[in-house]
Structure 1
Amino acid sequence: MAKARRSNDWGFPRWRGYEAGREAATIRLCDRHGCEEAGDCPAPKAPNSPERWYFCQTHAAEYNRKWDYFEGLDKAEKAARTKAEQNENAGYAEAQHYGWATSGDGSRSPDELRALEVLELEPDADFATVKKGWRDKAKQVHPDVKPGDAEAAAEFQKLQVAYEVLKAAEERREWRG
Protein backbone atom coordinates (compact mmCIF):
# COMPACT_ATOMS: atom_id res chain seq x y z
CA MET A 1 0.00 0.00 0.00
CA ALA A 2 1.36 3.42 -1.03
CA LYS A 3 2.00 5.99 1.64
CA ALA A 4 -0.30 9.05 1.28
CA ARG A 5 1.45 12.38 1.00
CA ARG A 6 0.02 15.49 2.55
CA SER A 7 -0.34 18.49 0.19
CA ASN A 8 1.20 21.86 0.92
CA ASP A 9 -2.17 23.61 1.11
CA TRP A 10 -4.19 21.63 3.59
CA GLY A 11 -6.52 23.48 5.92
CA PHE A 12 -7.43 27.08 6.14
CA PRO A 13 -5.74 29.53 6.12
CA ARG A 14 -3.29 28.39 3.49
CA TRP A 15 0.03 27.45 5.06
CA ARG A 16 2.05 28.67 2.10
CA GLY A 17 1.86 31.62 -0.25
CA TYR A 18 0.07 31.42 -3.54
CA GLU A 19 2.27 30.23 -6.40
CA ALA A 20 4.80 28.98 -3.89
CA GLY A 21 6.14 25.50 -4.11
CA ARG A 22 8.92 23.40 -2.73
CA GLU A 23 11.14 23.85 -5.80
CA ALA A 24 13.70 26.65 -6.03
CA ALA A 25 12.44 29.93 -7.47
CA THR A 26 14.28 31.41 -10.44
CA ILE A 27 15.35 34.99 -9.82
CA ARG A 28 16.69 37.16 -12.61
CA LEU A 29 19.77 39.10 -11.48
CA CYS A 30 20.45 42.74 -12.33
CA ASP A 31 22.12 43.11 -15.75
CA ARG A 32 24.60 45.65 -14.34
CA HIS A 33 28.02 44.03 -14.17
CA GLY A 34 28.87 42.86 -10.67
CA CYS A 35 25.43 43.50 -9.15
CA GLU A 36 23.88 40.59 -7.24
CA GLU A 37 20.44 42.17 -6.61
CA ALA A 38 17.23 40.97 -8.25
CA GLY A 39 16.72 42.55 -11.68
CA ASP A 40 13.01 43.30 -11.65
CA CYS A 41 12.96 46.70 -13.43
CA PRO A 42 12.93 46.41 -17.23
CA ALA A 43 14.56 49.14 -19.35
CA PRO A 44 14.79 49.29 -23.16
CA LYS A 45 18.17 48.44 -24.69
CA ALA A 46 17.48 50.84 -27.59
CA PRO A 47 14.62 53.13 -28.66
CA ASN A 48 11.69 51.19 -30.15
CA SER A 49 13.38 47.87 -29.39
CA PRO A 50 11.58 44.95 -27.76
CA GLU A 51 14.83 43.87 -26.06
CA ARG A 52 15.18 44.91 -22.42
CA TRP A 53 17.79 45.23 -19.72
CA TYR A 54 16.65 44.12 -16.29
CA PHE A 55 18.07 46.24 -13.48
CA CYS A 56 17.64 46.39 -9.72
CA GLN A 57 15.92 49.56 -8.47
CA THR A 58 19.21 51.34 -7.76
CA HIS A 59 20.62 50.78 -11.24
CA ALA A 60 17.25 51.45 -12.92
CA ALA A 61 17.22 54.87 -11.22
CA GLU A 62 20.79 55.48 -12.44
CA TYR A 63 19.79 54.42 -15.97
CA ASN A 64 16.80 56.80 -16.03
CA ARG A 65 18.41 59.77 -14.24
CA LYS A 66 19.23 61.83 -17.34
CA TRP A 67 16.47 60.55 -19.61
CA ASP A 68 14.72 63.39 -21.46
CA TYR A 69 11.21 62.75 -22.74
CA PHE A 70 11.45 65.75 -25.08
CA GLU A 71 14.92 65.04 -26.52
CA GLY A 72 15.19 65.87 -30.21
CA LEU A 73 11.99 67.94 -30.36
CA ASP A 74 11.86 71.60 -31.25
CA LYS A 75 9.95 74.05 -29.06
CA ALA A 76 6.63 73.74 -30.97
CA GLU A 77 6.72 69.92 -30.97
CA LYS A 78 7.57 69.94 -27.26
CA ALA A 79 4.58 72.20 -26.52
CA ALA A 80 2.28 70.03 -28.66
CA ARG A 81 3.41 66.84 -26.91
CA THR A 82 3.02 68.46 -23.47
CA LYS A 83 -0.51 69.59 -24.34
CA ALA A 84 -1.44 66.15 -25.70
CA GLU A 85 -0.10 64.48 -22.53
CA GLN A 86 -2.06 66.85 -20.32
CA ASN A 87 -5.26 66.24 -22.30
CA GLU A 88 -4.82 62.46 -22.19
CA ASN A 89 -4.07 62.45 -18.47
CA ALA A 90 -6.55 65.09 -17.36
CA GLY A 91 -8.73 62.49 -15.68
CA TYR A 92 -5.83 61.42 -13.49
CA ALA A 93 -4.67 64.88 -12.47
CA GLU A 94 -5.21 65.83 -8.87
CA ALA A 95 -7.63 68.70 -8.49
CA GLN A 96 -5.83 71.88 -7.48
CA HIS A 97 -8.48 72.83 -4.94
CA TYR A 98 -7.34 70.04 -2.61
CA GLY A 99 -4.04 71.77 -1.95
CA TRP A 100 -2.49 68.82 -0.14
CA ALA A 101 0.97 69.39 -1.54
CA THR A 102 3.52 72.02 -0.66
CA SER A 103 5.92 73.87 -2.91
CA GLY A 104 8.73 71.87 -4.49
CA ASP A 105 6.87 68.57 -4.77
CA GLY A 106 4.97 69.06 -7.99
CA SER A 107 2.40 71.58 -6.78
CA ARG A 108 3.96 74.42 -8.77
CA SER A 109 2.59 75.10 -12.23
CA PRO A 110 4.93 75.42 -15.24
CA ASP A 111 4.31 79.19 -15.17
CA GLU A 112 5.41 79.37 -11.54
CA LEU A 113 8.54 77.34 -12.30
CA ARG A 114 9.43 79.67 -15.19
CA ALA A 115 8.88 82.68 -12.91
CA LEU A 116 11.20 81.14 -10.32
CA GLU A 117 13.82 80.62 -13.03
CA VAL A 118 13.57 84.30 -13.99
CA LEU A 119 14.17 85.22 -10.35
CA GLU A 120 16.95 82.57 -10.18
CA LEU A 121 15.35 80.82 -7.20
CA GLU A 122 14.93 77.16 -6.28
CA PRO A 123 11.63 75.42 -7.16
CA ASP A 124 10.80 74.94 -3.47
CA ALA A 125 11.39 78.57 -2.44
CA ASP A 126 8.79 79.94 -0.04
CA PHE A 127 7.08 83.26 -0.69
CA ALA A 128 9.28 85.25 1.71
CA THR A 129 12.34 84.12 -0.29
CA VAL A 130 10.54 85.01 -3.53
CA LYS A 131 9.76 88.49 -2.25
CA LYS A 132 13.33 89.07 -1.09
CA GLY A 133 14.79 87.76 -4.35
CA TRP A 134 12.46 89.93 -6.39
CA ARG A 135 13.32 93.05 -4.40
CA ASP A 136 17.08 92.44 -4.67
CA LYS A 137 16.92 91.96 -8.45
CA ALA A 138 14.43 94.79 -9.03
CA LYS A 139 16.64 97.27 -7.16
CA GLN A 140 19.48 96.59 -9.61
CA VAL A 141 17.47 97.25 -12.81
CA HIS A 142 14.74 99.64 -11.65
CA PRO A 143 14.07 102.48 -14.15
CA ASP A 144 14.76 105.07 -11.40
CA VAL A 145 18.21 103.54 -10.84
CA LYS A 146 19.00 103.20 -14.57
CA PRO A 147 17.00 105.92 -16.38
CA GLY A 148 16.98 105.64 -20.17
CA ASP A 149 18.33 102.07 -20.22
CA ALA A 150 15.87 100.08 -22.36
CA GLU A 151 17.50 96.75 -21.56
CA ALA A 152 17.22 97.37 -17.80
CA ALA A 153 13.57 98.44 -18.22
CA ALA A 154 12.78 95.21 -20.12
CA GLU A 155 14.51 93.15 -17.41
CA PHE A 156 12.54 95.00 -14.71
CA GLN A 157 9.27 94.25 -16.50
CA LYS A 158 10.23 90.57 -16.76
CA LEU A 159 10.97 90.48 -13.02
CA GLN A 160 7.69 92.26 -12.28
CA VAL A 161 5.62 89.75 -14.30
CA ALA A 162 7.41 86.83 -12.62
CA TYR A 163 6.68 88.26 -9.18
CA GLU A 164 3.01 88.86 -10.05
CA VAL A 165 2.63 85.24 -11.20
CA LEU A 166 4.13 83.94 -7.95
CA LYS A 167 2.13 86.38 -5.82
CA ALA A 168 -1.16 85.32 -7.45
CA ALA A 169 -0.26 81.64 -6.90
CA GLU A 170 0.53 82.31 -3.24
CA GLU A 171 -2.77 84.13 -2.78
CA ARG A 172 -4.62 81.14 -4.31
CA ARG A 173 -2.84 78.80 -1.89
CA GLU A 174 -3.73 80.98 1.10
CA TRP A 175 -7.34 81.22 -0.05
CA ARG A 176 -7.63 77.44 -0.40
CA GLY A 177 -5.93 76.89 2.69
Structure 2
Amino acid sequence: MSRAKRSDDWGFPRWRPYGVGREAQQVRLCDRHGCSEPGNCPAPKSPNSPERWYFCTEHAAEYNRGWDYFAGLSAEEAAERAADEERGTRSYARAQHYAWGGSGDGTRSADEMRALEVLGLDPDADFEATKKAWRALAKECHPDVKPGDADAAKRFAAGQAAFEVLKQAEDRKSWKPD
Protein backbone atom coordinates (compact mmCIF):
# COMPACT_ATOMS: atom_id res chain seq x y z
CA MET A 1 0.00 0.00 0.00
CA SER A 2 1.39 3.40 -0.96
CA ARG A 3 1.66 6.07 1.61
CA ALA A 4 -0.40 9.28 1.20
CA LYS A 5 1.71 12.23 0.13
CA ARG A 6 1.26 15.79 1.17
CA SER A 7 0.34 18.16 -1.67
CA ASP A 8 0.07 21.92 -1.92
CA ASP A 9 -3.69 21.77 -2.49
CA TRP A 10 -5.07 20.49 0.81
CA GLY A 11 -6.12 22.32 3.92
CA PHE A 12 -5.92 25.92 4.87
CA PRO A 13 -4.07 28.19 4.23
CA ARG A 14 -3.85 27.73 0.50
CA TRP A 15 -0.29 27.51 -0.65
CA ARG A 16 -0.99 28.66 -4.18
CA PRO A 17 -2.79 31.82 -5.30
CA TYR A 18 -6.51 31.62 -6.00
CA GLY A 19 -7.40 30.85 -9.59
CA VAL A 20 -4.22 28.90 -10.22
CA GLY A 21 -4.83 25.28 -10.96
CA ARG A 22 -3.02 22.38 -12.50
CA GLU A 23 -5.65 21.79 -15.17
CA ALA A 24 -5.21 23.17 -18.67
CA GLN A 25 -6.94 26.43 -19.56
CA GLN A 26 -9.48 26.32 -22.38
CA VAL A 27 -8.52 28.79 -25.11
CA ARG A 28 -10.75 29.41 -28.10
CA LEU A 29 -8.73 29.98 -31.26
CA CYS A 30 -9.54 32.62 -33.84
CA ASP A 31 -12.12 31.41 -36.38
CA ARG A 32 -10.06 32.81 -39.26
CA HIS A 33 -8.50 29.94 -41.20
CA GLY A 34 -4.82 29.51 -40.37
CA CYS A 35 -4.75 31.89 -37.37
CA SER A 36 -3.43 30.49 -34.09
CA GLU A 37 -4.17 33.54 -31.90
CA PRO A 38 -6.85 33.39 -29.17
CA GLY A 39 -10.32 34.37 -30.46
CA ASN A 40 -11.59 36.80 -27.81
CA CYS A 41 -13.66 39.15 -30.00
CA PRO A 42 -17.18 37.96 -30.91
CA ALA A 43 -18.65 39.15 -34.21
CA PRO A 44 -22.10 38.35 -35.64
CA LYS A 45 -22.21 35.93 -38.53
CA SER A 46 -25.11 37.87 -40.08
CA PRO A 47 -27.31 40.85 -39.09
CA ASN A 48 -29.68 40.08 -36.20
CA SER A 49 -28.23 36.59 -35.78
CA PRO A 50 -27.33 35.09 -32.40
CA GLU A 51 -24.53 33.05 -34.01
CA ARG A 52 -21.05 34.53 -33.59
CA TRP A 53 -17.59 34.23 -35.06
CA TYR A 54 -14.75 34.57 -32.56
CA PHE A 55 -11.77 36.42 -33.97
CA CYS A 56 -8.46 37.67 -32.63
CA THR A 57 -8.16 41.46 -32.38
CA GLU A 58 -6.48 41.85 -35.76
CA HIS A 59 -9.04 39.75 -37.65
CA ALA A 60 -11.96 41.34 -35.78
CA ALA A 61 -10.78 44.76 -36.99
CA GLU A 62 -10.51 43.41 -40.54
CA TYR A 63 -14.01 41.89 -40.32
CA ASN A 64 -15.53 45.12 -38.98
CA ARG A 65 -13.98 47.20 -41.78
CA GLY A 66 -15.90 45.11 -44.32
CA TRP A 67 -19.15 44.98 -42.34
CA ASP A 68 -22.17 46.51 -44.07
CA TYR A 69 -24.89 47.22 -41.52
CA PHE A 70 -27.48 47.80 -44.24
CA ALA A 71 -26.72 44.68 -46.31
CA GLY A 72 -29.85 43.06 -47.71
CA LEU A 73 -32.11 46.06 -47.06
CA SER A 74 -33.87 48.13 -49.66
CA ALA A 75 -33.06 51.84 -49.88
CA GLU A 76 -36.27 52.73 -47.96
CA GLU A 77 -35.59 50.16 -45.21
CA ALA A 78 -31.99 51.35 -44.92
CA ALA A 79 -33.12 54.98 -44.64
CA GLU A 80 -35.72 54.04 -42.02
CA ARG A 81 -33.17 52.09 -39.95
CA ALA A 82 -30.67 54.94 -40.23
CA ALA A 83 -33.34 57.39 -39.08
CA ASP A 84 -34.20 55.13 -36.12
CA GLU A 85 -30.52 54.93 -35.17
CA GLU A 86 -30.12 58.70 -35.53
CA ARG A 87 -33.20 59.30 -33.40
CA GLY A 88 -31.73 57.04 -30.72
CA THR A 89 -28.46 58.98 -30.59
CA ARG A 90 -30.06 62.41 -30.38
CA SER A 91 -32.31 61.71 -27.42
CA TYR A 92 -31.09 60.60 -24.04
CA ALA A 93 -33.09 57.83 -22.44
CA ARG A 94 -32.61 57.92 -18.72
CA ALA A 95 -31.86 54.55 -17.16
CA GLN A 96 -34.45 53.47 -14.63
CA HIS A 97 -31.89 52.41 -12.04
CA TYR A 98 -30.48 55.97 -11.98
CA ALA A 99 -33.88 57.57 -11.28
CA TRP A 100 -33.22 57.75 -7.56
CA GLY A 101 -30.14 59.89 -8.09
CA GLY A 102 -31.92 63.19 -8.67
CA SER A 103 -29.80 66.13 -9.68
CA GLY A 104 -26.64 64.23 -10.43
CA ASP A 105 -24.51 65.78 -7.73
CA GLY A 106 -26.78 64.44 -4.98
CA THR A 107 -27.53 67.79 -3.37
CA ARG A 108 -31.17 68.06 -4.46
CA SER A 109 -34.04 65.62 -4.16
CA ALA A 110 -36.37 64.74 -7.02
CA ASP A 111 -39.08 66.96 -5.49
CA GLU A 112 -36.69 69.90 -5.39
CA MET A 113 -35.74 69.31 -9.02
CA ARG A 114 -39.41 69.28 -10.05
CA ALA A 115 -39.98 72.47 -8.03
CA LEU A 116 -37.09 74.18 -9.81
CA GLU A 117 -38.57 73.06 -13.12
CA VAL A 118 -41.96 74.58 -12.21
CA LEU A 119 -40.28 77.88 -11.43
CA GLY A 120 -38.19 77.68 -14.63
CA LEU A 121 -34.83 77.57 -12.86
CA ASP A 122 -31.60 75.67 -13.46
CA PRO A 123 -30.72 72.79 -11.09
CA ASP A 124 -27.88 74.81 -9.55
CA ALA A 125 -29.96 77.93 -8.80
CA ASP A 126 -29.51 79.44 -5.35
CA PHE A 127 -32.31 80.46 -2.98
CA GLU A 128 -32.16 84.14 -3.98
CA ALA A 129 -32.93 83.17 -7.58
CA THR A 130 -35.76 81.01 -6.27
CA LYS A 131 -37.26 83.98 -4.41
CA LYS A 132 -36.99 86.16 -7.52
CA ALA A 133 -38.66 83.55 -9.73
CA TRP A 134 -41.44 83.01 -7.18
CA ARG A 135 -42.14 86.76 -6.93
CA ALA A 136 -42.22 87.12 -10.72
CA LEU A 137 -44.62 84.19 -11.02
CA ALA A 138 -46.84 85.59 -8.25
CA LYS A 139 -46.97 89.03 -9.89
CA GLU A 140 -47.87 87.44 -13.20
CA CYS A 141 -50.62 85.01 -12.20
CA HIS A 142 -51.86 85.80 -8.66
CA PRO A 143 -55.66 85.36 -8.36
CA ASP A 144 -55.98 89.04 -7.34
CA VAL A 145 -54.19 90.10 -10.53
CA LYS A 146 -56.14 87.72 -12.79
CA PRO A 147 -59.49 87.02 -11.14
CA GLY A 148 -61.53 84.24 -12.72
CA ASP A 149 -58.62 82.78 -14.72
CA ALA A 150 -58.51 79.09 -13.77
CA ASP A 151 -55.24 78.44 -15.65
CA ALA A 152 -53.48 81.29 -13.84
CA ALA A 153 -54.81 80.00 -10.51
CA LYS A 154 -53.37 76.52 -11.23
CA ARG A 155 -50.00 77.97 -12.19
CA PHE A 156 -49.99 80.11 -9.05
CA ALA A 157 -50.83 77.10 -6.83
CA ALA A 158 -48.10 75.00 -8.48
CA GLY A 159 -45.59 77.82 -8.06
CA GLN A 160 -46.58 78.27 -4.42
CA ALA A 161 -46.12 74.55 -3.72
CA ALA A 162 -42.77 74.57 -5.54
CA PHE A 163 -41.57 77.56 -3.52
CA GLU A 164 -42.61 75.83 -0.26
CA VAL A 165 -40.62 72.71 -1.20
CA LEU A 166 -37.52 74.80 -1.96
CA LYS A 167 -37.97 76.94 1.15
CA GLN A 168 -38.15 73.86 3.38
CA ALA A 169 -35.06 72.45 1.70
CA GLU A 170 -33.21 75.72 2.32
CA ASP A 171 -34.32 75.67 5.96
CA ARG A 172 -33.02 72.12 6.34
CA LYS A 173 -29.66 73.19 4.89
CA SER A 174 -29.29 76.15 7.22
CA TRP A 175 -30.61 74.40 10.35
CA LYS A 176 -27.90 73.53 12.86
CA PRO A 177 -28.58 71.29 15.88
CA ASP A 178 -27.79 72.71 19.33
Shorter-chain TM-score: what band?
A: 0.3 to 0.5
Bigger RCO of structures 1 and 2 (CA < 8 A, at least 6 apart): 1
Larger radius of gyration: 2
**TM-score relative to the length of structure 2:** 0.44
